[in-house]
């Protein structure tokens, strides 16, 4: 039986390669198993393991850099609230979808985020999550539109 993996022009394969959401990949995997395409299911399993590794619990370069940004953001939150404050939403969301999808979702939201405004107020834009999107080492995970959005958000925050 021919696998979707064997057709590099396959729309499904392109969707899988451009997907950074674990729950969507799980649906693709279930469909592959249901369709008896075990080669594709194994491929998706590996993709899911690779994406799961891009989480705060790993020691790869992306995670280490993001960890510095979230620690910096929590420092600003704590200063602002005059008590120790954690970025609970960010940490919970990253646990659910991973760092890359978290950043993609952030960039798709309204650009007037509480976090960016707070970082601007305390002149700490160097720890804005958008900086990770602009880092050349990690741009392979983001579209040109997402990179442009990150640049635009930081430029607007600096100008205000």
DSSP calls for 32-52:
HHHTT-HHHHHHHHHHHHHHH
Residue among 132, 140, 151 nearest 62 (CA): 132
Residue 39 has pLDDT above 60, yes or no: yes
Under 8 Å between Cβ of 48 and 26: yes
Cα gap 113→2, rounded to integer Å: 47
Under 8 Å between Cβ of 65 and 73: no
Total residues found in the chain within this entry? 160
Residue 27 has pLDDT above 80, yes or no: yes
Residue 107 has pLDDT above 90, yes or no: yes
Residue 99, number of CB atoms within 10 A of its CB: 28
Condensed to tens digits (0 to 9), the pLDDT of residues 44-101 reads 988 887 776 566 556 678 888 998 999 999 999 999 999 989 998 998 888 778 888 8
Cα gap 124→103, rounded to integer Å: 18
What pLDDT score does 119 carry?
Answer: 95
Minimum mean pLDDT among 26-40, 56-70, 100-114: which range?
A: 56-70
Distance of CA 104 to the CA centre of its chain: 5
Condensed to tens digits (0 to 9), the pLDDT of residues 114-159 reads 889 999 999 999 999 999 999 999 998 899 999 999 999 999 999 9
Q: Residue 75: which residues within 8 A CB-CB, separation 6 or more?
A: 127
What pLDDT score does 144 carry?
Answer: 95
Phi, psi of 110, deg, nearest 5: -55, 135
The pTM assigned to this predicted structure is 0.68
């Amino acid at each position: 039986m021919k696998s979707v993996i064997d057709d590099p022009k396959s729309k499904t394969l392109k969707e899988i390669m451009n997907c950074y959401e674990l729950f969507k990949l799980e649906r693709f995997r279930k469909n592959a198993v249901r369709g008896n395409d075990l080669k594709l299911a194994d491929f998706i399993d590996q993709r899911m393991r690779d994406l799961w590794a891009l989480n705060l619990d790993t020691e790869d370069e992306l995670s280490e850099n993001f960890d510095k940004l979230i620690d910096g953001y929590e420092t600003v939150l704590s200063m602002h609230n005059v008590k120790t404050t954690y970025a609970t939403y960010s940490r919970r969301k990253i646990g659910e979808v991973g760092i890359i999808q978290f950043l993609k979702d952030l960039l798709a939201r309204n650009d007037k985020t509480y976090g960016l405004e707070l970082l601007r107020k305390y002149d700490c834009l160097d720890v804005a999550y958008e900086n990770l999107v602009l880092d050349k080492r990690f741009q392979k995970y983001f579209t040109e539109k997402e990179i442009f959005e990150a640049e635009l958000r930081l430029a607007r925050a600096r100008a205000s």
